[in-house]
Structure 1
Amino acid sequence: MSQRALQMPEIVGLICNEIEEQHPIGEVPFLSSVLASTARVSSIFANECLGRLWSCQDGLCNLLRLLPTECYTMKGSDVETMTVERTLTRKDFDRVTLYAQRIKHMQCKKLPPINVCSSAITSLEYSVSSADHTGLPYISMLLACSLETLHLTASGDSTSFLATSGARCANLTEFSMFTPEPYASESLSTAYNSFLGHLTRLDTIDVDSMACASFQQLAALPTLQSLVIRDNSLHRFKLPSGMCFPTLDNLELHYSSFKTMGKMLDAMETPQLTSIEVDSAAYAKAHIIRAIFIRFAEQLPLSQLHAITIDTDAETVPSGTHEALTLHTLEPLLSFGCLVHANIRLNTGFDLSDTCIARIAAAWPQIKSLRLALPYDAKYTVWSSTTIAGLQTFACNCPLLESLGLSLDGSVEPPEVQLIDVMTQQVKLRTLDVGTSMLEFPQSTAEFLSAVFPALAKIETYWDSSNHIQDRFNSVSAWRLVESQLRFGIKVRKWERVLGQVHGSSLPTIVDVEGSEPIM
């Protein structure tokens, strides 16, 4: 039987009574959003009413052109993530299937005790409160062979889950799991080994409790590229030696110590490592930090490491201990001549002279982002010997530098602009992080920075009267004055005002060193 053309009232009735009721787009029905979503669906509906509506898709597309643009291009109409705060139902999975072309990532906090699965989902993020004890036993119901990314934050028996779910996660490429387990028990180690044995495609793992016996299983993974461990109990275990990670290019250790990272480096061989990060909660003296940097230089590929991130907790500094580190501590890292990103925030800070800064700049000619500073939460200051004029060495040696963080001695006035060699200008630097540095000569500082770094537009400070040490020298206002007078910063702000600060607009990236208007 030939289908007749549906009239507009019938179309509205089908949408309101069938689609919106069964597959709600949001808390409030949006007719136009449903129309737009329906027009994008490319599957055949089994439901007779939905089938009738789909047969009129050409008419619906024409109808969409008559609706106001904002009706069907509202934020979220094309999102790929489905977030559900309540307990999931079967209709939620029907909805995923209905919008299979765009919903690929599901975020949920509660799971139903029903056997549901959707092959359309390739990424699942699940979190549950400690009061909900139905979490992990039901998470396996969502697992499908198509799942590629799994992020779990859950209470419950993680050991049991790991021991029984490996086969259904065979296609995972990214896995993270955070549980309240106090430390890596023997049973958890066995479960990890069982789970990891199935993950032949895994390239990223991020966990907060890793049994040391599982390191050997990780080393056996043929495609592992990123290993992130957030575990403060590794120091209790003896790591197996001689573990080779032939494909690993990123290693991160959080909530631990430099001593633990040293143990890991002694036990691991990482010939392809390009990035390393240590987030230490423990206070370490200069000789301990230098020792770990020496291990870096001895055991990591000198010509391949591109990124080093070292961060410490400012709260762990013993009272009255504010001894700044010198170049002697950092010297082992200067052998990594291909560094692109170096973010080193130590709770003692740095005291580096202009000569030391010149050595650092010469050692890292490819650097794009450099931070040698205090932690963000530091409530004290460390006086540095680096003058503002000393920054010119980065213009001479680091042409790719885009972001710089250093403590500066603002009591020394920089030279006059007329004395600066225009050939030493660096047109990439956009952001200067001065931490808690004081400043006495804002006017001449602004002129100097504008001349040497004509693309500089932003000055960052740590000063905060409510949380940090008192700004006795009015450094905030002084640095803000510098920022307001940066030549390129003025042009950028003028450019943004002309555009009405349109969301998503990008800043000009090419700058005439003689001060002409930015070129888009």
Structure 2
Amino acid sequence: MANLMHCMPPDLFEFGDNGAIRLLRPILAADWERPLVYMRRIRQLHCQVPMPAAVSALFTSFPGDAGSLLPKLTSLRWRDSWRGGESPSIQMLLSPKLTSLSISAPLPNAMLSAIPRTCPTLKDLDVYFLDIVYGVDRSALSTCLRDLHSLESVQIVVPDLAALEHLGQLPGLESLTARLPDDLSLRLVAPLRFIALRSLALRSNIEPVTDFFQRCSGVPLENIVIELDLSPTAAAIDRLHTALREGCSHTSLLSLDISIQDDDLPATGDAYTINVQSFRILFCFVNITSIRITSCVGFSIDDQGLKEVVLIWPQIRELRLSLTPWYTDLQLRPKLSLRCLSILAEHCRALTDLEIMLDATVVPEPDPNLGNPPMTSPALCVARYISAIFPSVSKLTTYRTDCDNDDPDELEVHAEAIAHHRLWMEVAEQLPILTAIRNEERLWAQVELGTQ
């Protein structure tokens, strides 16, 4: 908006070095003559907090017979935090050409009803934080959604079943990010079609998410992200996986990410431990290339269990068996050994990202054909084994990589985790050296072959 204000007479605004804008006199209708020419060129507008009072005065003074403030605007992000007085109306920015609208600000119900009436061809709508941060009349939001028929991407807190059923019937909806409220019962909802949906992100407790997928059938999803508020039991995870199997296309799904936002550890560990049976339920998704499953208490999967997983998905590129909170690993004894890395290297040639919990206390015997001398350093032994399996490995991190591991308070609380982190960083320091040695050995081997 500052660029627009610079088009107005120079005696109208004072622009400070710190970005402050001060109105020097009342805005007259004649002041708009020059800006109106340039306003027709604006296609995108991002209104960010905080906005000065001078901008509010600018909105108020806009000539009522001039139509939309920005008649060719196609994309609008409305982020404001107006302090004192009324916020300027978003309605003067709406136009039939608007196809992308994102709102995170208090909004009267009348403005919600104006959106479908003024922007009938709206394709992208983000009103997620309209509910999360500011609250909204869910009945008015539902009416707004049900009057929009060209939507391709939506980010919302689902207001009611009628809105959800409407979204499920849209022929062009390809992306949906939604929070399912705890008081929204899906048990009586009609089957959800979502015939064009490719990307889905759901946030809620596990029961509403499971109910959602149980109402679906053959949805052609490619990417699924599920963010759970509370840590679920293993039995609840199995029910969710079963609902995914029954509700989604088995051939289209490429990426599955199930994370947990809960920072509190469950009281009972065994009931929350994910085992290989949970993965077997997902084996029907034959084309998956990225999978991330999060647990608060770990995974009961050993080397053979992991082998069963990778034999089903040899095309996997990203495999993450994540722990949350990050300090969970201190209370667990991992069942995966270093030997599982050779299984992954053998069967998953496309693997680029790996996150697992390893027991590296025992280093398997290296391949006798590698031509490396015996090592005495434990870190060097582990690095040598990893380098032999993944010769191009470029990065090794732990849960403590981005923490201040020299801070006295951190050392007092997380001493064991920091000790583990430093051991792995010793391994990481050796990897580039071993990679360089292997590259040099290959070059010498090529030279020797060339001289024969």
TM-score (norm 1): 0.67
Partner AA of 2:200 in structure 1: L
Q: Which residue of 1 aligns with 2:103?
A: 152
Shift, 1:224, TM fit: 0.2
Aligned residues with identical type, % of pairs: 19
Cα distance per residue 1:261-312 (max 9 Å; x no partner): 1111122334311121210011211111112112212222111111111001
Shift, 1:336, TM fit: 1.5
Q: Which residue of 1 aligns with 2:447?
A: none
Shift, 1:197, TM fit: 2.1
* Contact 1:212–1:239, Cα closer than 8 Å, also in 2: no
Runs of at least 5 residues in structure 1 that lack an aligned partner in the other structure: 1-16, 30-83, 422-439, 492-510
Gap change, CA 1:267 and 1:96, over 3 Å in 2: farther
**CA separation in 1, counterparts of 2:250 and 2:215?**
18
1:409 to 359, 364, 371: 359
Q: Which residue of 2 aligns with 1:479?
A: 424
* Contact 2:182–2:208, Cα closer than 8 Å, also in 1: no
Shift, 1:402, TM fit: 0.9
**CA separation in 2, counterparts of 1:176 and 1:261?**
20
Q: Which residue of 2 aligns with 1:121?
A: 73
- 3-state SS of paired residue (1:372): strand
Computed over aligned residues only, the root mean square deviation of the Cα atoms, in angstroms, reads: 3.9
* Contact 2:257–2:293, Cα closer than 8 Å, also in 1: yes
1:248 maps onto 2:197 in alignment: yes
Q: Which residue of 2 aligns with 1:427?
A: none
Cα distance per residue 1:314-355 (max 9 Å; x no partner): 424334637532212222112222101111112222132110
Shift, 1:366, TM fit: 1.6
Runs of at least 5 residues in structure 2 that lack an aligned partner in the other structure: 1-5, 63-67, 372-376, 445-452
Gap change, CA 1:403 and 1:23, over 3 Å in 2: farther
1:338-417 matches, cutoff 5 A: 338-375=287-324, 377-381=326-330, 382-417=332-367
Partner AA of 1:284 in structure 2: P
Shift, 1:175, TM fit: 0.9
1:271 maps onto 2:219 in alignment: yes
Q: Which residue of 1 aligns with 2:450?
A: none
Q: Which residue of 2 aligns with 1:207?
A: 156
Shift, 1:231, TM fit: 3.8
Shift, 1:223, TM fit: 0.6
Shift, 1:163, TM fit: 1.8
Cα distance per residue 1:215-261 (max 9 Å; x no partner): 1221232210011112433544655122211111112111x112111
**CA separation in 2, counterparts of 1:248 and 1:189?**
25
1:315-330 matches, cutoff 5 A: 315-319=263-267, 321=269, 324-330=273-279
Gap change, CA 1:475 and 1:454, over 3 Å in 2: same
* Contact 1:305–1:339, Cα closer than 8 Å, also in 2: yes
**CA separation in 2, counterparts of 1:343 and 1:485?**
28
1:418 to 368, 373, 382: 368
Shift, 1:161, TM fit: 2.4
**CA separation in 2, counterparts of 1:341 and 1:87?**
52
Q: Which has the higher contact order (CA 8 A, sep 6+)?
A: 2
Q: Which residue of 2 aligns with 1:301?
A: 249
Gap change, CA 1:233 and 1:514, over 3 Å in 2: farther
* Contact 1:166–1:194, Cα closer than 8 Å, also in 2: yes
Q: Which residue of 2 aligns with 1:141?
A: 92
Shift, 1:134, TM fit: 3.5
- 3-state SS of paired residue (2:415): coil
**CA separation in 1, counterparts of 2:71 and 2:439?**
53
Q: Which residue of 1 aligns with 2:380?
A: 443
Cα distance per residue 1:39-85 (max 9 Å; x no partner): xxxxxxxxxxxxxxxxxxxxxxxxxxxxxxxxxxxxxxxxxxxxx99
Return 408-417 or 393-402, whichever deviates more: 408-417
TM-score (norm 2): 0.77
Q: State the aligned residue count.
A: 404
Shift, 1:139, TM fit: 1.2
Gap change, CA 1:290 and 1:419, over 3 Å in 2: farther
1:87-126 matches, cutoff 5 A: 98=38, 104-109=44-49, 110=51, 112=56, 113-114=59-60, 115=62, 117-126=69-78
**CA separation in 1, counterparts of 2:173 and 2:133?**
26
* Contact 1:183–1:233, Cα closer than 8 Å, also in 2: no
1:224 maps onto 2:173 in alignment: yes
* Contact 1:143–1:169, Cα closer than 8 Å, also in 2: yes
- 3-state SS of paired residue (2:283): helix
* Contact 1:315–1:378, Cα closer than 8 Å, also in 2: no
* Contact 1:380–1:469, Cα closer than 8 Å, also in 2: no
* Contact 1:189–1:214, Cα closer than 8 Å, also in 2: no
Gap change, CA 1:341 and 1:246, over 3 Å in 2: same
**CA separation in 1, counterparts of 2:240 and 2:415?**
34
* Contact 1:97–1:120, Cα closer than 8 Å, also in 2: no
Q: Which residue of 2 aligns with 1:433?
A: none
